[in-house]
Amino acid sequence: MDCIKCKSPLPEGALYCPMCGKKQVQERRKALKRANGTGTVYKLQGRRKRPWVAAKNKVVIGYYERKTDALEALERLSGKELTERYNMTFAEVFQEWSEEHYKTLTKSGITSYDIAFNVYRALHNKKFRDLRTSDFQAELDKIQGKSYSTMSKHKQLITQMSQWAIREEICTTNFAKFVRLPEREKKGKEIFTDADIKKLEKDGSEAARIVLMLLATGMRIGELFSISLDDYHETYVIGGSKTEAGRNRAIPIRPEGREHFAYFAAHADGPLLLSGYTGQKIYANYRSRDYYPLLARLGIKKKSPHATRHTYTSRAVKEGMAPEILQRILGHADYSTTANVYTHIDIDTLVKSVESFDVTGTLLTNKKSREKEKP
């Protein structure tokens, strides 16, 4: 290589000529040009998190942090028709998303998503990559008045579809996650009144016995229906579910509820405590076919079976049961943070603790103590 001015020989890689001092112009490597029809990659100006753009046929494929990521995106599209993929409609995205996602869903889950899909009927034939938050919001706003859980399910559909579309590089932003849902209506916790409990006790039916069993233990309805006969021990049962702290816990039975547990234990014809129940043995069916009709027949205001748990808890707190005892009985998840401190509490202590209050509100042990203190 010679100097561009004096033509003197230059050492390899020299920037200046040692003879005349002239700065040498370095040859610039030309960027390799992509073949026609394979797309292009370019960088946007300014400070951006994803400045590199991959585009093909004047359609932006996506934005990327690194140039190599943008090039890889184009390579993945090689051999695929961009117009077919990036012009997919809402309905077409749903079709491909559902074929993949429905494999892991129950029948009821599939039905709920199919219903949600029809909510966005006006968007079915629109290009998915052109849809924005306002488009999704407009369709949801048309069905105001639905429950929060229903609206949340409808939003969940478009959110998951958008995530799938981003993964497939059909769009670059999940606009569905910005959709606003109406505020969840806060409802007060329903409980069974003293009058309600007296009606249940007077009724004496097996369906009423089950409600009284829930009131006497604070158990979830699903937990009661899954208790095995071997785990019944007259004053307590072993069972529970849902949380780590709630599984296989000792659940004491209030004195007024023990006769109902004994009744079903005596009539059991299978491995479960309630196997001899003559009504619906699946708790979901019991709730709809036995429980709600029972409340209606007795003139008790409609409330979910979980209201028995609220009743037990509110009465226990009112009568001063120690929080650690109540947490252990109910199997609340937050009990796991204090489990190591209270591992010394045995079943006898639990049973004695619940005997200090009556589910109807009458204080037992504490009442006796106050009577002794009277002059």
Instruction: Based on the fold, state whether residues 228 and 325 are members of the same structural domain.
Output: yes
Instruction: Based on the fold, state whether residues 352 and 264 are members of the same structural domain.
Output: yes
At residue 228, φ and ψ (nearest 5 deg) are -85, 155
Contacts of 248 (CB under 8 A, 6+ apart): 238, 239, 240
Say what the pLDDT of residue 2 is.
83
Instruction: Based on the fold, state whether residues 113 and 139 are members of the same structural domain.
Output: yes
Q: Please give the Cα distance from 154 to 116 (Å, whole number).
A: 5
In a domain, 24, yes or no: no
CA 110 to chain centre: 16
In a domain, 32, yes or no: no
Say what the pLDDT of residue 360 is.
55
Which residue among 145, 178, 211 closes a domain? Answer: 178
Instruction: Based on the fold, state whether residues 204 and 347 are members of the same structural domain.
Output: yes
In a domain, 236, yes or no: yes
Say what the pLDDT of residue 80 is.
53
Alpha-carbon separation of residue 327 from 70, 138, 283, 330, 331 (angstroms): 54, 45, 24, 5, 6
Alpha-carbon separation of residue 8 from 4, 28, 333, 349 (angstroms): 8, 22, 83, 101
In a domain, 331, yes or no: yes
Instruction: Based on the fold, state whether residues 111 and 47 are members of the same structural domain.
Output: no
Instruction: Based on the fold, state whether residues 71 and 111 are members of the same structural domain.
Output: no
Say what the pLDDT of residue 33 is.
63
Say what the pLDDT of residue 79 is.
57
Instruction: Based on the fold, state whether residues 78 and 103 are members of the same structural domain.
Output: no
Facing residues of 260 across strands? none
- Can you give the CATH number for the domain in which 153 is found? 1.10.150.130
Say what the pLDDT of residue 350 is.
66
Q: Which two tokens stand for residue 311?
A: 């009743």
In a domain, 333, yes or no: yes
Instruction: Based on the fold, state whether residues 363 and 226 are members of the same structural domain.
Output: yes
Q: Strands across the sheet with 59-64, in order?
A: 40-43, 52-56, 59-64
DSSP reduced 3-state for 272: strand
DSSP reduced 3-state for 342: coil
Q: Which two tokens stand for residue 32?
A: 């390799």
In a domain, 28, yes or no: no
What spatial distance separates the first Cα and last Cα of the chain, rounded to whole Å?
Answer: 118
3-state secondary structure 108-169: HHHHHHHHHHHHCHHHCCCEHHHCCHHHHHHHHHCCCCCCHHHHHHHHHHHHHHHHHHHHCC
Instruction: Based on the fold, state whether residues 221 and 243 are members of the same structural domain.
Output: yes
Q: Which domain holds residue 357?
A: 194-373
Q: Which two tokens stand for residue 161?
A: 């579809």
Instruction: Based on the fold, state whether residues 369 and 269 are members of the same structural domain.
Output: yes
Given the structure tokens 């958008």, which residue do they identify?
Answer: 162
Say what the pLDDT of residue 358 is.
64
- Averages of pLDDT over runs of 10 residues in the chain (375 residues) are 82 80 66 67 87 80 81 69 72 93 84 93 93 94 83 93 87 89 72 92 94 92 89 88 60 92 93 90 85 95 89 82 82 48 48 66 48 51
Residues 327 and 206 sit within 8 Å (Cβ to Cβ): no
In a domain, 45, yes or no: yes
Say what the pLDDT of residue 229 is.
92
Helix axes of 107-119 and 148-167: crossing angle, nearest 10 degrees = 90
Domain count along the chain: 3
Instruction: Based on the fold, state whether residues 288 and 323 are members of the same structural domain.
Output: yes
Which residue among 84, 104, 136 closes a domain? Answer: 84
Q: Of 86, 342, 68, 360, whose CA–CA distance to 196 is shortest?
A: 360
Say what the pLDDT of residue 35 is.
65
- Provide the residue type at 49 as one letter: K
Say what the pLDDT of residue 338 is.
30
pTM (2 decimals)? 0.47
CB-count exposure of residue 145 (10 Å: 0-12, 13-18, 19+): exposed
